[in-house]
Chain A
Amino acid sequence: GQQLNQSPQSMFIQEGEDVSMNCTSSSIFNTWLWYKQDPGEGPVLLIALYKAGELTSNGRLTAQFGITRKDSFLNISASIPSDVGIYFCAGQLRTGTASKLTFGTGTRLQVTL
């Protein structure tokens, strides 16, 4: 099955630094979603993107839907300790009724004080 290429795999940054991660696919998607997973919990939706070129913010998070519809980027500004976790991108192609998601392999973020 298809998996999205997500990079970097892991990041170690200092508190206050900005973070960038991206996701690329060999096929197009109608929707890009970014999730965060805390240890021992299920993923929680951070941002959803619905149109090519769209730039959307949620607090310190900003995400963009690539023009080619094959990629997406997530930026976190001024990182804080609670940003620690695994970030997943997910692409959605709305065919049929199930609108299944394809997930990236995740970016593990560690924030040091």
Chain B
Amino acid sequence: NAGVTQTPKFRVLKTGQSMTLLCAQDMNHEYMYWYRQDPGMGLRLIHYSVGEGTTAKGEVPDGYNVSRLKKQNFLLGLESAAPSQTSVYFCATRGREGRSYNEQFFGPGTRLTVL
């Protein structure tokens, strides 16, 4: 039972390059979230999904796209990376009911640097 995993762990991009971050969960959770964490800013929500095939914008969605083709995977895409997107990216999941309803479970993060 791996919980929430993220790949890759680290990545360095040049301005204008594209990449996709993968979040995978084996907890059968309905909800999935992508956050970015910057120094002194806490975590800010980029996009989220309330179920397979659905996505919605969060607080800071510009420059990112997401897809939830399978329930267990949530992909975050950067079409044309910019230095302002240098950050640590966290994926989180949440169940629909029970104790897991209020708790978001986080992955270990992806550290992205855009030069």
Listed in ascending order, the chain A residues whose CB lies under 8 Å from chain B are 1, 3-4, 6, 9, 31, 33, 40-45, 48, 50, 88, 92, 97-101, 103-106
Contact = CB atoms under 8 A, between A and B. Distances in A.
B2 interface: no
B103 A3 contact: no
B106 A43 contact: yes
Interface of B: 4, 31, 33, 40-45, 48, 50, 56, 58-60, 90, 92, 94, 101-109
B31 A98 contact: yes
B48 A104 contact: no
Nearest to B90: A42
A42 B91 CA distance: 9
B41 A105 contact: yes
B27 to A, nearest CB: 14
Given A33-B102, A98-B48, A100-B48, A43 B31 contact: no
Contacts of B41: 3, 105
Contacts of B40: 9, 105-106
Contacts of A92: 102
Nearest to B41: A105
Contact of B50 (A3, A6, A97, A106): A97
A107 to B, nearest CB: 11
B92 to A, nearest CB: 8
Nearest to A106: B42
Contacts of A4: 42
Contacts of B94: 99
Given A31-B102, A98-B31, A100-B48, A1 B109 contact: no
A6 B42 CA distance: 10
Nearest to A48: B102
A6 B43 CA distance: 13
